[in-house]
Structure 1
């Protein structure tokens, strides 16, 4: 992978704005998702019980040299409701991964995830010139797998015993991708889904 990551940027849609993640977002994020075991069930960190613990999660994203983290802001409230990231960017190989995504439960199955991914995919394919975007998720996390499939991504395989969970058990990682020539059809479907409300 190349070391140079995409520059932090703000991406704005009708329902959400993605902006560079920072410590100023921690109070909103804690209100949206702190202490909620179900939100953190598949995130590879222990459930944050305090704002300070969530600030440490944010710190780990900000210090990760392979990560470009975004706060997901609801435009109707101006409040941060989640986080999503680009990982493992390579300009040479024209690829990146979207991951590290979590949202407060109040916005699950809303326009928030659909539009966040539409913004990230548009930026990746149309502005960064990517040829491949990838996702990985826990093999037990069916909700995440279904959400990725709804984006139009293709299942590629499963990495066995890939990551250790916070409880010490091992997860297999399910891998999905979308290629540049698949993007126009996916963009149309996602745009129509958002328009339908």
Structure 2
């Protein structure tokens, strides 16, 4: 039996709601992180300096959703009702029961808060328990230690590094660090994440 294909859906928690990314989120998203070099430092695109530039990046994500190759979510902070970033499922294979979580960014107001932990918790519950995935993976720039630490805190395991894997927007080369979490590892990881969220 293969896993189910992810489709746009709303996933709700105590602090955040993930909802299908749309053009309606553009104003909030630009307010959250538009033009902020540090927010976009490790992304595969330069920091969008205008709402129009961010709209072009958003449209590229929506085109992937339209093709069925990814599912993109706006991350809504429930306390404000505003989008503070986005995240996606991509590299999806229902036959191989796997997907990747990536193309994730948050404005600075969401850094070092419950936003990322709960958003990832919602995505992992959905992937493993509702879609029937056997593997969820992440990849990031080898210099992006903040992202690597956040991925490790989810319970994911380091798998290896692809050297000189991708050219950065500034023309330099990055090594790409890979992590994964398997279905049989999820119950223990879920318990640790649940305990951490309960502790605040």
Report the TM-score, using the length of structure 1 for normalisation.
Answer: 0.97
CA distance in 1, matches of 2:193, 2:60: 31
Question: What is the SS of the residue equivalent to 1:44?
Answer: coil
| Number of the residue aligned with 2:162 | 159
Q: CA offset at residue 102 of structure 1?
A: 0.3
| Number of the residue aligned with 2:29 | 29
Task: Determine if the alignment matches structure 1 residue 111 to structure 2 residue 114.
Answer: yes
Q: CA offset at residue 5 of structure 1?
A: 4.5
| Number of the residue aligned with 1:179 | 182
CA distance in 2, matches of 1:57, 1:110: 25
Q: Is the 8 A contact 2:167 2:173 kept in 1?
A: yes
What is the aligned-residue RMSD (CA, Å)?
1.2
Question: What is the SS of the residue equivalent to 2:160?
Answer: strand
Q: Is the 8 A contact 1:33 1:103 kept in 2?
A: yes
Q: CA offset at residue 162 of structure 1?
A: 1.2
Question: What is the SS of the residue equivalent to 1:93?
Answer: coil
Unaligned runs of 5+ in 2: none
CA distance in 1, matches of 2:158, 2:137: 10
| Number of the residue aligned with 1:78 | 81
Q: Is the 8 A contact 1:5 1:68 kept in 2?
A: no
CA distance in 2, matches of 1:18, 1:162: 30
The count of corresponding residues between Structure 1 and Structure 2 is 195
Q: Is the 8 A contact 2:97 2:132 kept in 1?
A: yes
| Number of the residue aligned with 2:56 | 56
Unaligned runs of 5+ in 1: none
CA distance in 1, matches of 2:46, 2:70: 19
Matches within 5 A, 1:121-132: 121-132=124-135
CA distance in 2, matches of 1:112, 1:6: 22
Report the TM-score, using the length of structure 2 for normalisation.
Answer: 0.95
Q: CA offset at residue 40 of structure 1?
A: 0.3
Structure 1 residue ranges (4+ consecutive) displaced by more than 3 angstroms after TM superposition? none
Task: Determine if the alignment matches structure 1 residue 7 to structure 2 residue 7.
Answer: yes
CA distance in 1, matches of 2:112, 2:195: 16
